[in-house]
Amino acid sequence: MNNVVDKFFIDIFFGSDSVFFDQMALTLTNAYFWVPLFIALFVLIVKNNDNVTQILLAIGCIALCVFIASGMSNLLVKPLVERIRPCNDPEFKYLAQIAGDMHSKDFSFFSSHAANTIAVATFFTLMVRSVLLSTTLYLWAVVNMWTRLYLGQHFFTDVIVGVAWGIVAALISYYLYYKLYKKVSTERSYISSHYTSTGYSYIDVDAVTAVFFLMLCISMLPLAEIYSNLINYIH
């Protein structure tokens, strides 16, 4: 059943004859490209928490969230399952010209990109309680998932399992965050058109959304190739 599903989505998502989409996918899949978004999220946390303890708690639990999400994939499941990536699988690798010649040597199941991005999106959804921010971050996660499918780095089922585990990682981390936050903070309820129910400024949320769409637009410009090559060289 998994093979049938994966073959169906391979036909839909894997590669194209478009240089535009090739470069866009290569740019968007690079974590370093999203550094401005990460900085915007960091600023969101710093500006909307009262003290260093709250800030460090939020950042620490987000880091834990990512560690649980990617650690389970990279350190345990991938070495045990040893599923070959589509870009290396003899059955699929000739179906499309692989953009950037991305033939990763590690394994495919399950997608740590999907797990990480969904985990972060879900954690911020629970912490900030903003529909706009949630929509933005889940769209960011979907964009990253598309790049992994387009570049032949993962099968569709790799991504789906990654999403499921990412949500679990976020729930575990947020539960810990919520319990500890109550111990280091006074109980407050926000009823305002300027703040979410958990005290995050809508202006700061708008800034995160603006950064995301700016980066999305940049990925569609010829300048993106120069930027992508630069961050690849630095990496």
The mean of the pLDDT values for the chain is 85
- According to the 3-state scheme, what is the secondary structure of the chain? CHHHHHHHHHHHHCCCCCHHHHHHHHHHCCHHHHHHHHHHHHHHHHHCCCCHHHHHHHHHHHHHHHHHHHHHHHHHHHHHHCCCCCCCCCCCCCCCCCHHHCCCCCCCCCCHHHHHHHHHHHHHHHHHCCHHHHHHHHHHHHHHHHHHHHCCCCCHHHHHHHHHHHHHHHHHHHHHHHHHHHHHCCCCCCCCCCECCCCCEHHHHHHHHHHHHHHHHHCCCCHHHHHHHHHHHHC
Q: Is residue 42 part of a domain?
A: yes
- Characterise 100 by phi-psi region: left (phi > 0), alpha (psi -120 to 50), beta (else): left
Q: Is 110 exposed, middle or buried (0-12, 13-18, 19+ CB in 10 A)?
A: buried
pLDDT digits (tens, 9 = 90+) for 31-83: 889 999 999 999 999 999 989 999 999 999 999 999 999 998 888 888 888 78
Q: pTM higher than 0.85, yes or no?
A: yes
Could you tell me the residue range of the domain that residue 49 belongs to? 18-234
Q: Is residue 43 part of a domain?
A: yes
Q: Is residue 138 part of a domain?
A: yes
Residue 25 sits at φ, ψ, to 5 deg, of: -65, -40
Q: Is residue 13 part of a domain?
A: no
Q: Is residue 5 part of a domain?
A: no
Q: Check residues 56 and 20 and name the one with the higher pLDDT.
A: 56
Q: Is residue 66 part of a domain?
A: yes
Task: Determine the Cα–Cα distance for residues 120 and 113; give it in Å rounded to an integer.
Answer: 11
Q: Is residue 111 part of a domain?
A: yes
pLDDT digits (tens, 9 = 90+) for 125-139: 999 999 999 999 999
Q: Widest CA span of the chain, in angstroms?
A: 59
Count the domains in the chain: 1
Q: Is residue 61 part of a domain?
A: yes
Does 100 have pLDDT greater than 60? no
pLDDT digits (tens, 9 = 90+) for 164-206: 999 999 999 999 999 999 888 776 655 567 888 888 999 999 9
